[in-house]
Amino acid sequence: MNAAGLYVPGRSAAHRLPAGAKLAVLLAAVTVVVAAGHTGLALAAAAAAAALYPLCGFGPRRVGRVLRPLLPFLAAIALFQGLAGEPEAAARVCAQLTAAVLLSGLVTLTTRVAEMLDLFERLARPLRLAGVRPERVALLLALTLRSLPLAASAWRAAREGYTARGLRGRPHLMVVPVVVGLIRSAEALGEALTARDID
């Protein structure tokens, strides 16, 4: 599992497939499902995407975990489309979103961050002409992922300090410590990157 709680080591065909191929299949599948605008196709795609999980070594719980953040949006879409008298549109849009999220979840579950970085670095090579260093694009992606646990850690530290001092009812008091914590983490990380000759 990686920092964002996504990559899970395994030996399935999806794990062995190169990151570029997986992203290409994902792009093609989502484009077809959305462009076709066909409810049956969208429902079939969502079902097929869910069926791929056990084939890659993931149980139904994993499907649930991938879809959980999407559920409020699906509920809102279903509600509004239902109220608008378009239940078929509701089913279609919800199925399209479900298929897209499940497929992209599968890509991240089966792809190491390093592979993704290599891919982005290769894709960003043409940007060299515009003066952009591709390795920096990849590093930016890595640091974005790294910032998730750092932000969570800064938030946890600020909340513990807030609670330990018996403060309550004024959560805005945590903003400054969180921001300061994040700045300090960013400075330390920058220094570590320089020290390790990564730039």
Partner 1 sequence: MLQLRDVTHAYDGRPVLRGVTLDLAEHRIGVIGANGSGKSTLARTLNGLVVPDSGRVLVDGRDTRRHGREVRRRVGFVFADPAAQIVMPTVAEDVAIGLRGRGLDRAEIGARVDAVLRRHGLADHRDHPAHLLSGGQKQMLALASVLVTEPEVLVCDEPTTLLDLRNRRVIERTLRALPQQVVLLTHHLDALTGFDRVLVMDEGRVAFDGAPEDAIAHYTALMDAGAGAEGGPRT
Q: Among 1-9, 28-36, 61-69, 175-183, which window interacts with partner 1 (CB under 8 A)?
A: 1-9
Tell me: does residue 185 bind partner 1 (CB under 8 A): yes
Tell me: does residue 3 bind partner 1 (CB under 8 A): yes
Interhelix angle 60-67/39-55, nearest 10 degrees:
130
Q: Confirm if 134 and 121 have CB atoms less than 8 A apart.
A: yes
Nearer to partner 1, 44 or 142 (CB): 142
Q: Collapsing DSSP states into helix, strand and coil, what is residue 114? A: helix
Tokens matching residue 174: 């945590």
Alpha helices, H only, 124-198: 134-164, 175-195
Tell me: does residue 135 bind partner 1 (CB under 8 A): yes
Q: Can you tell me which of 26, 36, 89, 143 binds partner 1, judged by CB under 8 A?
A: 143
> What Rg value do the Cα atoms of the chain yield, rounded?
21
Tell me: does residue 56 bind partner 1 (CB under 8 A): no
DSSP 59: -
Residue 172 C-beta: closest distance to partner 1, Å: 27
Tell me: does residue 88 bind partner 1 (CB under 8 A): no
Give the Cα separation of 123 and 20 in Å (integer): 9
Nearer to partner 1, 86 or 199 (CB): 199
Give the Cα separation of 115 and 80 in Å (integer): 40
Tell me: does residue 4 bind partner 1 (CB under 8 A): yes
Tell me: does residue 107 bind partner 1 (CB under 8 A): no
* Binding footprint of partner 1 on the chain (CB under 8 A): 1-5, 7, 9, 112-114, 135, 142-143, 145-146, 149, 153, 185, 188-189, 191-198
